[in-house]
Amino acid sequence: MIDYTKEELVELLRKHPEKFNEWKAGQNDVDLSEVDLSGIVLNEIDFSDVDLNSSSFADSSVSLVKFINTDLTSVDFTRSKVLECDFSESLLTGADCSYAEMNYCNFQDCDMAGCILSETDLGNSDLTGAVNINASRFDDATIWPEQDLLPEDFDGAYNEDLSSLKDEDDDLVISDYE
């Protein structure tokens, strides 16, 4: 089998994704951590069991991609269009999905602790089996799927995060110089 560098694999993904899938089928322990895949189109790629830790998919169009059991810790998906992707059993801990469109995706057993979902469109995605979604960060502009596609105990109503907690007295400013 051909042994590629990370840079060569990125070029393969950009120009010949089908060749990447063929190559990956015979591989174990594929490490694509910290690669820049931003601004490209990725269709029907198999990233199952791949280490993509700290990689960037910012401003990319990603569809029908398998991220099954993939390490996506601290990955950047900002402003990406992610359609019909499978995130089953993956780690999205600390991933930034701000302003992304993540529609019709499967998040079964996906760990979403610390995942940033500010202004993310998750419409029609299946989050019923998502793990630690209560520990994700989101805002009032996050678009959630219908309630039957969310975990039973999840409340998608926006609450300010802990950093914005303040005492009732904080709203009253009293000056010594009056």
Domain boundaries, the chain: 31-178
Q: Give the model confidence (pLDDT) of 30-66 as tens digits.
A: 999 999 999 999 999 999 999 999 999 999 999 999 9
Distance CA 165, CA 97 (A): 24
b/e map of 130-144 (b: 16 or more CB within 10 Å)? bbebeebbbeeebbb
The residue type of 74 is: S
Report percent pLDDT > 70 for the chain. Answer: 87
| 33: nearest Cα among 63, 89, 71, 81 | 71
How many CA within 13 A on the CB side of residue 170? 5
- Taking 90 as the threshold, does the pLDDT of residue 169 lie above it? no
CATH superfamily to which 31-178 belongs: E3 ubiquitin-protein ligase SopA (2.160.20.80)
Q: Give the model confidence (pLDDT) of 63-98 as tens digits.
A: 999 999 999 999 999 999 999 999 999 999 999 999
Reading the block at residue 55, the tokens are 């990689």
Tell how far CA 39 is from the center of its chain. 16
Confidence of residue 160 (pLDDT cuts 50, 70, 90): low
Q: What is the residue-averaged pLDDT of the chain?
A: 90
Predicted TM-score of the model (pTM): 0.84
Reading the block at residue 103, the tokens are 């529609």
Report percent pLDDT > 90 for the chain. Answer: 80
- Taking 60 as the threshold, does the pLDDT of residue 142 lie above it? yes
Answer for the pair 72, 90: CB distance below 8 angstroms, yes or no.
Answer: yes
126 vs 172, which has greater pLDDT?
A: 126
DSSP 25-87: HT-SS-B-TT-B-TT-EEES-B-TT-B-TT-B-TT-EEES-B-TT-B-TT-B-TT-EEES-B-
- Taking 50 as the threshold, does the pLDDT of residue 130 lie above it? yes
